[in-house]
Amino acid sequence: MSQEDVSKRLCARIGAWVPFSLLATAIGWAGVKLSEGKTAMTVFDNLHWTAGYASGALLALRAWSAATGDVKTIAGWATVGLCALTVGQLVWDVQVALGWLPFPGPSDLFFVSTGFWISVGLWRVVKGRLETSALRALVLDVMVLLVGTLSISMVLYLPRQGTYTLLQLLVMAAYPVSLALPASLALTLLLSLRCRLSLSVIALPVGLCLFAACWIEWNLRFLVGKLTDGAWLNLCFSAVAILLGWSISLFQVTPSADAKWDRRSDSILRLMPIVMIAFAIVGVALVEWQATFSREVKWIALAGAVVAVVLAVVRQSYLLGDRDRLLEAERMIGEREQQLEALNRELEMRVEQRTGELAKSQKLAALGALVAGVAHELSTPIGNARIVAGSINYRLNELNRQMEGGGTVHHTAVTAVIADSRKATEMIEQSLDRASMLIGSFKQIAVDRTGEQRRPFDLSDVIVQTISVQRAVFKRAGCIIHVDAPKGQLINGYPGSVGQLLDILVENANRHGFDGRRGGEVTIRAETTAEGVAVLTVSDNGNGIPEQILGKIFDPFFTTQLGRGGSGLGLNIAWNIVEGVLGGKIFVSSMVGSGTTFRIVLPLNAP
């Protein structure tokens, strides 16, 4: 059987006894009020006391079986305390039956221990929940409250001392003091943990205070010989015991996250010693003012006040010490923050310096790669031109040598040289055109931001003007260009750069997207969003770009058509135009066999 099943069965068994105990308490109350004889009233008095105390113990035991954590600890020790109260009452019942009623007697030991056992449970929770400084302050607060309770009790008892000894008076004072201990512990614990003062929180300390008040009144009546069976005070003991058991079942230790309540609880704890000093001073003044009080009473009141003041002063000194430590910690934190700020500034300067050096090195590396790539690309057409030029020069020198030698030069030889020269010239022109195109691309890679005046323009007009030239080229290739760009999308920027960007992207679709196939479609869309940006989309239904090279297409000189006319500069120029000149962002998405989409986000006011 699991622990949970055992707890459920135990809780069910305990719960079955609670109604019987409550019923017995009610019978005892009714019997007290209905009986007329002293013996019957005494019997019913002891019945409701015993049943009431047992009801409180059973309620606490039931709460312990169902609780967890700190509440289980408190409920367990509270059950021990209420069981001790019940045992004390049973001992009292035996003493009454035997007619043996000494004071102090065996039952007093059990009665006085009730508050002690409840205090043990509260103290175990206090030690586990509070830090050392808060725990020290709590102990001092509890001591001040206990001294105050002891002083009040003795001031009330001494004038009625009669023939009773000082030991008997101290035992009487131990009753309220023993119950004030757990009450003050519970109250200061709840304030220290910032628990809201709800019914589940205040029921336990209120019940303990009521029980202490009942004992004070009982002892006062005992001193003057006015104790009677069947009095309402007797019924209050049973009711308060049941209240204690019920309060244990409600008790919760749940800190509140409310900052306002946190400040209020802290203020109450700080004011508690000052309030106790004020009460001590008022108590001494009242005792001194009343001439009926004996000298012993006045000395006890004064001694209690002095002890309370000393404890309150010590408590305040701890508060001042905590404040000094807090100020010192704040000062050290401030110094550490200043040091960290200085270190951060130094690190920022170093990072900025290092970033500048790294940017310079990256620029030099990029420039070296750019020059090396251009040089490599130019070497092929220029080398071809040099070879062809050298070949035709050799043929011409050979023809000239034959003519200078006086030999016969046939017409066919001259015609052949002329034909070869024409072919060579065409090849040289093609090579030079290729070199000129590469040089032009090399110039475009560093886009001149001051080469064009910025002005407001309609994005739709620029798209239409640019595509009108490309449509003729696409028509010969069997491709179609669709434009979806409503008029009225005004941008303050560089229309020439936007046109150059479109030329590059459309040419990229023609060269790469439709490579190896005839026909295809390119769609250009433009729209202005509510976020204040223009979104330009160029998509095709071509071959698409493999995922492994998608992240490299904007790198300079990266091309999949190396040796077939691709320079690898087109999309890098497009990236520079978008990011550098137009102040936007360019994104690409593609799927092999389904085409490619370039998405350009441009601000309506270019930087």
Place of tokens 């709460």: 63
Top CATH class of 455-603 equals: alpha beta
**CA dihedral defined by 522, 527, 529, 533, rounded to 10 degrees?**
80
pLDDT for residue 560: 63
Could you list the beta-strand ranges (E) of 544-607.
Answer: 585-591, 595-603
Give the pLDDT band of residue 116 (cuts 50, 70, 90). Answer: very high
Q: How far apart are CA 204 and CA 251, in angstroms?
A: 7
- Is the pLDDT at 131 greater than 90? The verdict is no
- Is the pLDDT at 87 greater than 90? The verdict is yes
pLDDT for residue 84: 93
Q: Pick the residue with more confidence: 507 or 273?
A: 507
Give 508-558 pLDDT, tens digit per residue. Answer: 777 777 776 777 888 889 888 877 788 889 888 888 888 877 777 777 666
Q: Which two structure tokens, joined as six digits, stand for 415?
A: 């015609």
Q: Which two structure tokens, joined as six digits, stand for 40?
A: 């019957």
Over pLDDT 90: what percentage of the chain? 4
Q: Are 526 and 601 in contact (CB under 8 A)?
A: no
Give 35-86 pLDDT, tens digit per residue. Answer: 767 777 778 878 888 888 888 888 888 888 888 888 888 888 999 999 999 9
Place of tokens 């628990």: 195
Segment holding 561, helix H or strand E: none
Q: Which two structure tokens, joined as six digits, stand for 164?
A: 């009773």
97-106 long-range Cβ contacts below 8 angstroms, 24+ apart? 103/168, 103/171, 104/167, 104/168, 104/171
Q: How far apart are CA 112 and CA 69, in angstroms?
A: 27
Helix (DSSP H) and strand (DSSP E) numbers for the chain: 15, 7
Q: How far apart are CA 50 and CA 527, in angstroms?
A: 88
Q: Which of 139, 138, 150, 219 is nearest to 180 (CA)?
A: 150
Give 426-469 pLDDT, tens digit per residue. Answer: 777 777 776 776 666 555 444 433 445 678 888 888 888 777 65
Strand partners, 585: 601
Give 324-366 pLDDT, tens digit per residue. Answer: 666 677 778 878 888 888 888 888 787 667 655 654 554 455 4
Give the pLDDT band of residue 473 (cuts 50, 70, 90). Answer: low
Give the pLDDT band of residue 117 (cuts 50, 70, 90). Answer: very high
Q: What is the mean pLDDT of the chain?
A: 76
| Rounded mean pLDDT, 167-190 | 85
95-98 long-range Cβ contacts below 8 angstroms, 24+ apart? 96/42, 96/46
pLDDT for residue 320: 64
| Rounded mean pLDDT, 15-24 | 67
Give 210-247 pLDDT, tens digit per residue. Answer: 999 998 888 888 888 887 777 788 888 888 888 888 88
* Alpha-helix runs per DSSP H in 251-294: 259-289
Give the pLDDT band of residue 395 (cuts 50, 70, 90). Answer: confident
Please state the φ and ψ torsions of residue 481, each to the nearest 5 degrees: -115, 125
Residue length, the chain? Answer: 607
pLDDT for residue 72: 87
Pairing of strands 595-603, 585-591: antiparallel
Q: How far apart are CA 399 and CA 396, in angstroms?
A: 5
User: CA 158 from chain center: how many Å?
Assistant: 60
pLDDT for residue 165: 83
Q: Are 25 and 51 in contact (CB under 8 A)?
A: yes
Q: Is the peptide bond before 104 cis (omega within 30 degrees of 0)?
A: yes
| Rounded mean pLDDT, 199-216 | 87
Q: How far apart are the first and last CA of the chain?
A: 76
Give 483-507 pLDDT, tens digit per residue. Answer: 888 888 888 888 878 887 887 888 7
